[in-house]
Amino acid sequence: MLPAATLRASVDDPQVKKVVAGGLDWLAAQQTAVGRWTAQGRYPTAMTSLAGLAMLAEGSTTTQGKYAENIRRAVNYLVQRSRQNGLIGDADDDRYTYGHGFAMLFLSEVLGEEEDQERREDLIRVLTKAVEFTGEAQTPAGGWGYVSSKDGGGFDEGSTTITQVQGLRGCRNAGIPVPKEVIDKAVKYIHSCTLKEGAVQYSSKGGGGRPAITAAAIACLYNAGEYDDDYVPRMMDYCRKQLDPSARDSFGHWHYAHFYYSQVQYREGGDAWTNYRKAIEKRILSEATEVKIGDQPAYYWQQGYVGPVYTTALNLIILQLENAYLPIYQR
């Protein structure tokens, strides 16, 4: 992790800073008294984790910053949702692996900066069990589905696989033991799902190449330490052709795709990142909805399939990558 002194905010465009600040204020206003966010009442574990990540990306922690109280309440809510078998969330959620994976990622990023010893111990306990649950939930093909392999008959698909791998990498970065064989199987899974042209298909059973899953898969390989993976150049070429930030969304899941593709471009750096950043910022800012909280402007985004908390959290994380406060996204 970089020293705190080097982690100062580097988002410097005044309009971006204004919209980010207003977006975070809007998110804070949506948090319930018990600490959670939802998507119209659904997916509280995933929404709480993503909203919490957006606030961590601003530089706040559980003890410092404008959103410290919001982050503390989110952490407490998720810790309380840790089940005896290690699942963070509810088994009756039909897509509980998403929430579990995002919760591992958020809580592991908190752990890296946590100063309170009692909270650190709680996080280590919860995340250790969460990693064990993820390992047991992996399918024989090496991926993950919407639910654990034993609950889903071995079904797997790319987007939930990426969520688990990023969560595992966050845990490993924070010092939680992660079995190497689990990551190795996941990398092989991604390779097996990669088509000749570089697109990553929906699942190990087929389903056609998907731009969003391909972008997520590259981020996943980077998180797994596969920076020189032979598959990446083909996947990158495919994404460059499919994921122009200024182009009309012709494939669905635009925000999800660019949530991961922005991480990939940020890691690449150089002119590619500079040009992409300008385009993605222009697109995101143009689609913001302005409201008032008191007498101050606030912003949210309502596009997408899941709802405004989800879309707003993803967009805010994209807009704050330059802050470099989240170790999982650092170069």
Tell me which of 12 and 10 has the higher pLDDT.
Answer: 12
The CA distances from residue 143 to 148, 178, 238, 279, in Å, are 10, 16, 22, 33
Give tens-digit pLDDT for 15-40: 999 999 999 999 999 999 999 999 98
Q: Among 83-97, 181-195, 225-239, 303-317, which stretch is predicted with the lowest mean pLDDT?
A: 225-239
Number of helical H runs and strand E runs in the chain: 13, 4
**pLDDT score of 227:** 72
**pLDDT score of 2:** 37
Q: Cα separation of 135 and 277, whole Å?
A: 35
The CA distances from residue 320 to 76, 230, 250, 252, 271, in Å, are 24, 30, 26, 23, 18
Q: What is the mean pLDDT of residues 127-144?
A: 97
Q: What is the mean pLDDT of residues 88-110?
A: 96
Q: What is the mean pLDDT of residues 107-120?
A: 93
Provide the percentage of residues in the chain whose pLDDT is more than 90.
82
Residue 252: pLDDT band with limits 50, 70, 90? low
Report the mean per-residue pLDDT for the chain: 92
- Please work out, in degrees rounded to the nearest 5, the angle formed at the alpha carbon of residue 203 by the alpha carbons of 172 and 224: 20
**pLDDT score of 9:** 42
Q: What is the mean pLDDT of residues 277-287?
A: 96
Q: Take residue 297 and report the two structure tokens written for it.
A: 């402007």
Q: Is the pLDDT of residue 108 over 70?
A: yes
Residue 225: pLDDT band with limits 50, 70, 90? confident
CATH architecture group of domain 4-329:
Alpha/alpha barrel (1.50)
Q: Is the pLDDT of residue 87 over 90?
A: yes
CB-based contacts of 84, cutoff 8 Å, min separation 6: none
**pLDDT score of 7:** 41
User: Global pTM?
Assistant: 0.94
Q: How does DSSP assign 87-154, residue by residue?
A: -BS-TTSTTHHHHHHHHHHHHHHHHTT---HHHHHHHHHHHHHHHHHHHHH--TTS-B-SS-HHHHTT
CB of 300 closer than 8 Å to CB of 308: yes
Residue 195: pLDDT band with limits 50, 70, 90? very high
Residue 206: pLDDT band with limits 50, 70, 90? confident
Q: What is the mean pLDDT of residues 258-264?
A: 96
CB-based contacts of 242, cutoff 8 Å, min separation 6: 211, 214, 251
Give tens-digit pLDDT for 154-192: 999 999 999 999 999 999 999 999 999 999 999 999 999
CB-based contacts of 239, cutoff 8 Å, min separation 6: 198, 211, 214, 215, 218, 261, 264
Domain extents in the chain? 4-329
